[in-house]
Structure formats: structure tokens, C-alpha cells
């Protein structure tokens, strides 16, 4: 593919390139050149990124650092002249510290995207998690999210903890940890009238983060449509198909060939795989620079992208309480039955989760 230079890229051609980028962002690998061309269009009107951490292990940030196309420094740190994205606050990656760093949260000077990593503590008035101080008083994560969400161009929840509560919200959830949508409310809309975008995963794939962030930056400039989201707030370009749909062991499942022990041939459904009820493109995109995935490497999918993770997707090595249907059995009862069983399973799980938290 030939790419035009930045100077030669008229608005019309750029919009065409943007449509191309839309397709490429969702393909197996991100197209570095197109992303840079897209980013160059917002040069001079830099978008600030305020990335704050609640209850999290920082693995989402570490996963982001594994992005290769484009390189994370190109995208986030603005080290290439044609890329203008200002990472004004990011606990792990930013160069500033102390009061100078905190100033970006206290008095944002530019339009900004709010990225939330980790869940938000609500019990004890949020004092389980604080970031910095104002006038000698610690400021809670929940107060930062409340303040910064008001003026954000868009709010993005990075990882399952920020999206749905994740591990910190596991029963008995002593800190009252919740995801960003539970905290801000399903009716929340950003300054540009965007709903919260969830990029779940424990951690999320770097492509999901970079691709969504890039498309959202362009959406704030009206150069790219706001990404389509599913009912759980996830971009459909990454979270539409199930792990099971694209699994290389799927033929073994359909034949009823199930492994009884790890390391044995066969589908690992009976060893706890939650692939049939988990939605992400791990098995087509693959992880570790396109090398492998959980089920490819012989480990069960633990449904880390689902709101029910971890309480209702565990024990991780126990088979789902819905029957595995071999190809012959499925042909007899119809695929719809499998879907209905999975739906019923998650519905029950969500009701029970609700009971635990409230
Ligand atoms: S290993 Fe999991 S995702 Fe793959 S076919 Fe078996 S049940 Fe489906
Ligand atoms: S295969 Fe399942 S557990 Fe593994 S990263 Fe993907 S969604 Fe998460």
C-alpha cells in the first residue's frame, strides 16, 4: 500500500484515509503509517490525556507498553514531531512528579481525554484510594473522577477493573470498588456527548487500547466516527466475536474431543475454558506481537473481558455449568440452545453479583 505524505494529504483524502484507518484499526495489526497520518492532522491542537489510576495492578499500563505497531512512544509520549498527543498525567509513564504533575489534574489547560485505570473505591467516602493532596488534604480517586469527568471530551475505562470493577470488586468487596460506568451512571455523557468507552481485559490487548484511543482522538476532531459499542460499552471492532468462535481448538470441541488433563490434545472446555461465553478477538489478533493466546497456548480462557470476572468466571479450572455440545449434539438441538444457555448463565451471574454488592 502506498501512503501519501502529510503535506499532500488534503482533508478529503484524509477522510478517505480515515475510513481506511477505520478498517485497519480493527484488523489483525494496527497500521502505523495511517495512524501517524491521522495523528498528524491534529497537530497544533494537541489532545491532552489524563490517565489516572484507582485500584489496579498497573498491568494495563504495562500491556500498553507492549504495543509494537505503532510504537507506544510514538503514540503516547509525542516523541515524534508528527505525533501530537500530550500525556499530561499518567502515574507510571509521566516524566513530571509531585505538585507539578498534579497541576495537570487540578487545572487542565487543554481539552482532554480522561482515561481511568483501576476501579473506584466508594466506601469510607473513597478514602481507600487517594491521589495527591490539595491544601494538605488527600483527594480521593472518586473525587478526581467526578471532577474530571465533567469536562472530559471522552471518558475511557482501561481494563476490567475500570470497566466493571474487576478483581478489587470481588466479593466481599470491602472497599466498595466499582467500575467507571457504575460510578458515573449509565446516563453519563462527556462534553462531546459520548458515552463511556470500556476497554476491558485483565489486562487489555495493547491494540485494543491504542486503536480505541486513536479512533477517539479523531472522533473528538470529527475526523472519524465514534466507535460502535456493544451493550457492555466495548468497541465492537475488538469485542464482537467470542473466544470460542475463533479458537483453533474449536474443531476438537465440535467433535467432542475434550482434554482430560492440561497438556493433552483436545479442547480444554472441561478444564475450565470460558471461551464460549467471552467476547474478544484474542484468538484472531493474538497476543505477544501476534504470537499466541490463552487457549492456543493450552490455558483456559477465564473470561477476563466480561463483567462477571472474576467472581462468576471462577473457579477458573472448573467447567462451565452449561453442557458442552459436540458437533453431533449441537446439530440435534440447534446452536440457539447453546446461546440461550450461555445467556442464562451470565444473567444469573449478574443478578448474584448485584446481590453481593448492594
Ligand atoms: S478451548 Fe475453549 S474457546 Fe477453544 S474450542 Fe475449547 S471451549 Fe472453545
Ligand atoms: S482468551 Fe479469555 S482470559 Fe485470555 S485474554 Fe482473552 S478474554 Fe482474557
DSSP 198: E
Q: Is 294 a catalytic residue?
A: yes
Spacing of C-alpha 165 from chain mean position: 13
Same domain for 212 and 71: yes
Provide the CATH number for the domain around residue 335: 4.10.480.10
Handedness of CA 181, 185, 186, 191 (dihedral sign): negative
Of ligand 1's atoms, which has the minimum distance to the CA of residue 324? Answer: 7
Beta strands, E only, the chain: 47-53, 85-90, 112-117, 120-121, 130-134, 137-140, 154-158, 177-178, 197-199
Q: Is 295 in the pocket of ligand 1 (CB under 6 A)?
A: yes
3-class DSSP assignment, residue 178:
strand
In 32-97, the DSSP E strands lie at 47-53, 85-90
Indicate if 186 and 205 belong to the same structural domain.
yes
Could you tell me if 106 and 222 lie in one domain? yes
Q: Is 325 in the pocket of ligand 2 (CB under 6 A)?
A: no
- Whether 3 is a known active-site residue: answer no
Q: Of 191, 217, 239, which marks where a domain is finished?
A: 239
* Domain annotation covers residue 123: yes
Amino acid 159: pLDDT: 98
Question: What pLDDT score does 32 carry?
Answer: 60
φ/ψ of residue 49, rounded to 5: -115, 120
Cβ 142 under 6 angstroms from ligand 1 = no
Nearest to 93 by CA among 209, 4, 10, 183: 209
Q: Whose CA is nearest to atom 2 of ligand 2?
A: 301
| pLDDT at residue 206 in the model | 92
Element (H, E) at 121: strand 120-121
Q: Determine whether the shortest distance from the Cβ of 249 to ligand 1 is under 6 A.
A: yes
304 part of the active site: yes
Nearest to 182 by CA among 114, 232, 143, 147: 232
Same domain, 227 and 318: no
Q: Is residue 66 part of a domain?
A: yes
- Classify residue 261 by its DSSP letter: S
245 is a domain residue:
no
Ligand 1, residues 301, 319, 324: which to mutate, most atoms within 8 A of Cβ?
301
Find, among 302, 156, 309, 327, the residue nearest to 234 by Cα: 156
267 is known as an active-site residue: yes
- End position of a domain, from candidates 239, 258, 277: 239
179 and 155 within one domain: yes
Q: What is the model's pLDDT at position 78?
A: 58
- Whether 4 is in a domain gets the answer no
CA-angle at 200, arms to 199 and 203, nearest 5°? 110
Residue 223 has what pLDDT? 76
Give which of 52, 157, 47 is closest to 111, Cα–Cα: 47
Residue 145 lies in a domain: yes
- By residue range, what is the domain housing residue 335? 250-357
Domain shared by 149 and 203, yes or no: yes
Residue 244 lies in a domain: no
The response to whether residue 301 sits with its C-beta less than 6 Å from ligand 2 reads yes
Residues 6-30 have pLDDT tens digits of: 333 343 443 344 434 444 444 445 5
Are 171 and 287 part of one and the same domain?
Answer: no
109 with 87, same domain? yes
Q: Indicate if 267 and 213 belong to the same structural domain.
A: no
- Give counts: helices (H), strands (E), the chain: 14, 9
Statement to judge: residues 203 and 276 lie in one domain: no
In angstroms, the CA 29 to CA 35 distance is 12
Is residue 2 one of the residues assigned to a domain? no
Instruction: Note down pLDDT in tens along the chain; length 358 residues.
Output: 333 333 333 434 433 444 344 444 444 455 565 566 556 654 545 678 899 999 999 999 999 888 877 676 666 655 555 445 677 898 888 888 888 999 999 999 888 999 999 999 999 999 999 999 999 999 999 999 999 999 999 999 999 999 999 999 999 999 999 999 999 999 999 999 999 999 999 999 999 998 898 888 878 878 778 999 999 999 999 999 999 999 999 999 999 999 999 999 999 999 999 999 999 999 999 999 899 999 999 999 999 999 999 999 999 999 987 666 554 454 444 444 445 555 556 555 454 443 333 2
Inter-residue contact 159 to 166 (CB < 8 Å): yes
Domains contained in the chain, number: 2
- Cα-to-centroid distance, 213 and ligand 2 (Å): 21
Write the CATH number for 23: 3.40.50.700
16 Cα to the center of ligand 2, angstroms: 34
Contacts (Cβ under 8 Å, ≥6 apart) of 148 = 50, 52, 105, 108, 112, 114
Residue at which a domain ends, from 210, 239, 268: 239
Is 167 in the same domain as 272?
no
Task: Tell me: do 180 and 275 sit in the same domain.
Answer: no
Q: Give yes or no: 244 in active site.
A: yes
Domain presence at residue 3: no
Amino acid at each position: 500500500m502506498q501512503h501519501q505524505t502529510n503535506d499532500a494529504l488534503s482533508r478529503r483524502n484524509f477522510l478517505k484515509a480515515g475510513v481506511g484507518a477505520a478498517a485497519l484499526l480493527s484488523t489483525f495489526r494496527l497500521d502505523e503509517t495511517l495512524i501517524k497520518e491521522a495523528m498528524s492532522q491534529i497537530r497544533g491542537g494537541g489532545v491532552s490525556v489524563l490517565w489516572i489510576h484507582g485500584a489496579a495492578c498497573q498491568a494495563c499500563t504495562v500491556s500498553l507498553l507492549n504495543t509494537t505497531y505503532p510504537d507506544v512512544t510514538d503514540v503516547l509520549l509525542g516523541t515524534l514531531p508528527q505525533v501530537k498527543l500530550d500525556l499530561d498525567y499518567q502515574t507510571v509513564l509521566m516524566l513530571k512528579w509531585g505538585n507539578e504533575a498534579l497541576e495537570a489534574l487540578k487545572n487542565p489547560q487543554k481539552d482532554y481525554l480522561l482515561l481511568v485505570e483501576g476501579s473506584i473505591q466508594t466506601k469510607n467516602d473513597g478514602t481507600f484510594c487517594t491521589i495527591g493532596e490539595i491544601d494538605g488534604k488527600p483527594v480521593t480517586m472518586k473525587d478526581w473522577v467526578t471532577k474530571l469527568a465533567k469536562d472530559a471530551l471522552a471518558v475511557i475505562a482501561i481494563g476490567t477493573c475500570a470497566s466493571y470493577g474487576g478483581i478489587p470488586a470481588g466479593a466481599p468487596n470491602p472497599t466498595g470498588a466499582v467500575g467507571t460506568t457504575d460510578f458515573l451512571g449509565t446516563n453519563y455523557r462527556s462534553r462531546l456527548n459520548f458515552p463511556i468507552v470500556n476497554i476491558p481485559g485483565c489486562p487489555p490487548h495493547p491494540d485494543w487500547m491504542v486503536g480505541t484511543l486513536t479512533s477517539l482522538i479523531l472522533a473528538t476532531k470529527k475526523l472519524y466516527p465514534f466507535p460502535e459499542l456493544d451493550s457492555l460499552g466495548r468497541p465492537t471492532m475488538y469485542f464482537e466475536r467470542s473466544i470460542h468462535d475463533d479458537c483453533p481448538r474449536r474443531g476438537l470441541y465440535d467433535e467432542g474431543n475434550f482434554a482430560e488433563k492440561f497438556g493433552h490434545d483436545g479442547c480444554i472446555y472441561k478444564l475450565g475454558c470460558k471461551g464460549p461465553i467471552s467476547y474478544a478477538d484474542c484468538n484472531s489478533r493474538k497476543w505477544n506481537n501476534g504470537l499466541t493466546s490463552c487457549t492456543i497456548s493450552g490455558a483456559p480462557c477465564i473470561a477476563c473481558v466480561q463483567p462477571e470476572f472474576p467472581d462468576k468466571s471462577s473457579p477458573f479450572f472448573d467447567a462451565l455449568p452449561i453442557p458442552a455440545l459436540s458437533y453431533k449434539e449441537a446439530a440435534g438441538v440447534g446452536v440457539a440452545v447453546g446461546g440461550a444457555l450461555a445467556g442464562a448463565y451470565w444473567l444469573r451471574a449478574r443478578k448474584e453479583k448485584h446481590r453481593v454488592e448492594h
